[in-house]
Chain A
Amino acid sequence: MNLLPIAGPRATWSLLWSEIRKLPVLSIVAAIVITGGSAAGLVAPWALGVLVDDISGGADRSAIVQVVLLIGGAALLTGLLTALGVLLVARVGETVLARIREKVLDRVLQLPAPVLDKVRTGDLLSRVGDDVATVASALTDVGPMLLGAALTIILTVGGLFALDWRLGLAGLLAVPMYIWALRWYLPRSAPFYSQERVAMGERSEAIIASLRGSATVRAYQLEDVQLAKIDATSANARDLSIRVFRYFSFFTSRINHAEFTGLAGILVAGFFLVRADAVTIGAVTAAALYFHRLFNPIGAVLMLFDEVQTAAAGMARLAGVLEMEQITAPPPGAGPADASIELVGIGHAYDGPLVVDGVSLRLEPGERVALVGASGAGKTTLAALAAGVLTPTAGVVKLGGVDVQALGEDRTRAQVALLSQEVHVFSGTLAEDVRLARPEATDAAIEAALETVGALAWVRALPDGLETVVGEEGHQLTGAQSQQLAFARLVLADPPVAVLDEATAEAGSAGARELERASVAATAGRTTLIVAHRLTQAEQADRIVVLDHGRVVETGTHTALLASGGRYAQLWHSWTGFKPGEPGGRTTPANAST
Chain B
Amino acid sequence: MSTGELLRRAIRRHRGRMTVGILLTALHQATEAAVPVTIGIFVDQAVASGELMPLVWCVVMLFALFAVLSNAWKLGARQIVRAIEFETHELRLEIAQRVLDPRGQRTGLRSGELLSIATSDAEKAALVMRALSLGCAAGTALLVSSVSLLLVDVPLGIGVLIGVPLVVLGIQGLSPLLTRRTSTQQEAVAQTTALATDLVGGLRTLRGIGAQHNAAARYRRSSQDTLRATLRAVSTAGLQDGVSIALSGLLLAAVAGVAGWFALNGRISIGELITVVGLAQFIAEPVGTLGYASQVLAGSRASAGRLASVLSSPPLVESGTTTVVDPAQPLLQLDGVSYKTLADVDLTLRPGESVGVLCYDPRDADALLTVVAGRALEYSGAVRVGGTAIDELDIDVLRNTVLLERHETDLFEGTLRTNLLVESPSLERVMTAAGAADLIEELDRPLADRGQALSGGQRQRLGLARALLAEPPLLVLHDPSTAVDAVTEELLAEGLAEVRSGLTTLVLTSSPALLGKMDRVVVLADGAVVTEGAHAELAETDATYQEAVLR
Contacts and interface: CB of A to CB of B under 8 A. Distances in A.
Interface string B381-406: 00000000000000010011001111
B246 to A, nearest CB: 3
B410 A216 contact: yes
Contacts of B208: 387, 389, 417-420
Contact of A535 (B217, B450, B551): B551
Contact of A227 (B93, B365, B512): B93
B111 interface: yes
Interface stretch (A86-94, A332-340, A395-403): A86-94
B207 A577 contact: no
Nearest to B457: A375
Nearest 3 pairs between A and B by C-beta? A75-B249, A413-B210, A577-B512
Given A80-B242, A140-B185, A223 B43 contact: no
Q: Is the interface of A mostly helix, strand, loop or mixed?
A: helix
A257 B67 CA distance: 8
A427 B210 contact: no
Given A95-B227, A575-B551, 12 more contacts: A71-B252, A116-B204, A211-B99, A211-B114, A220-B466, A260-B66, A267-B39, A285-B43, A437-B214, A473-B194, A508-B361, A574-B513
Interface string A152-178: 000000000000000000000000000
Contacts of A91: 231
B62 A260 contact: yes
Interface stretch (B136-144, B326-334, B425-433, B541-549): B541-549
Interface string A258-285: 0110011001101100110000010011
B277 A436 contact: no
B118 interface: yes
A124 B200 contact: yes
A577 B209 contact: no
Contacts of B470: 220
Given A52-B273, A94-B231, A584-B540, A61 B264 contact: yes
B243 A79 contact: yes
Contacts of B201: 121, 125, 424
Interface in A447-467: none
B270 A52 contact: yes
Q: Which of B194, B220, B238, B483 counts the most chain A CB atoms within 10 A?
A: B238
Interface string A487-528: 001100101000000010111111101000000000000000
A510 B212 contact: no
B3 interface: no
B77 interface: yes
Interface in B192-233: 192-220, 223-224, 226-227, 230-231, 233
B66 A259 contact: yes
B99 A267 contact: no
A406 interface: no
Interface string A266-306: 01101100110000010011001100110000000000000
Interface residues of B, number: 165
A398 B424 CA distance: 54
A14 interface: no
Interface in A203-225: 203-223
B206 A506 contact: no
B93 A231 contact: yes
Contacts of A576: 512, 550-551
A98 B260 contact: no
Interface stretch (B46-54, B156-164, B290-298): B46-54
Interface stretch (B80-88, B336-344, B494-502): B80-88
A375 B203 contact: no
B93 A234 contact: yes
A478 B362 contact: yes
B59 interface: yes
A2 interface: no
Nearest to A239: B85
Interface string A372-390: 0011100000000001010
Interface string B64-75: 001001110111
Given A246-B78, A437-B211, A44 B66 contact: no
Q: Which of B81, B115, B410 counts the most chain A CB atoms within 10 A?
A: B410
Given A51-B260, A75-B249, A213-B412, A374 B486 contact: yes
B150 interface: no
A106 interface: yes
Contact of A571 (B192, B264, B411, B486): B486
B437 interface: no
Contacts of B74: 249-250, 252-253
B104 interface: yes
29 contacts: A52-B270, A79-B242, A79-B245, A82-B238, A90-B230, A102-B223, A105-B200, A109-B200, A109-B203, A209-B450, A212-B450, A213-B410, A219-B403, A223-B100, A223-B102, A227-B100, A238-B86, A242-B81, A252-B73, A274-B50, A281-B47, A281-B270, A288-B43, A419-B208, A426-B199, A509-B510, A535-B551, A589-B547, A591-B547
A245 interface: yes
Contacts of B82: 242
Contacts of A268: 55, 59
Contacts of A438: 214
Contacts of B450: 205, 209, 212-213
A198 interface: no
A577 B406 contact: no
Interface in B6-54: 35-36, 39, 42-43, 46-48, 50
A230 B214 contact: no
B261 interface: yes
Contact of A584 (B78, B237, B263, B539): B539
Interface stretch (A128-136, A344-352, A354-362, A555-563): A128-136
B239 interface: yes
B100 A86 contact: no
Contacts of B301: none
B113 to A, nearest CB: 10
Q: Which of A76, A95, A271 counts the most chain B CB atoms within 10 A?
A: A271
A215 B406 contact: yes
Nearest to A373: B485
A271 B50 contact: yes
Interface stretch (A15-23, A62-70, A183-191): A62-70
A355 B482 CA distance: 23
A515 B248 CA distance: 70
Q: Which of B73, B75, B246, B407 counts the most chain A CB atoms within 10 A?
A: B246
Contact of A256 (B66, B233, B536, B548): B66
B516 interface: yes
A253 B449 CA distance: 42
B349 interface: no
Nearest to A535: B551
A590 B550 CA distance: 10
Given A257-B70, A577-B516, A422 B205 contact: yes
A300 to B, nearest CB: 13
B286 to A, nearest CB: 13
Nearest to A113: B207
B379 interface: no
B210 A410 contact: yes
A437 B202 CA distance: 13
Q: Which of B241, B250, B361, B511 counts the most chain A CB atoms within 10 A?
A: B241
A536 interface: yes
A445 interface: no
A101 B47 contact: no
Q: Which of A98, A121, A206, A376 counts the most chain B CB atoms within 10 A?
A: A98
B131 interface: no
Contacts of A423: 205
A432 B425 CA distance: 55
A56 B198 contact: no
Nearest to B197: A129
B59 A264 contact: yes
B200 A205 contact: no
Contacts of B466: 220
Interface in A469-491: 471-473, 478, 486, 489-490
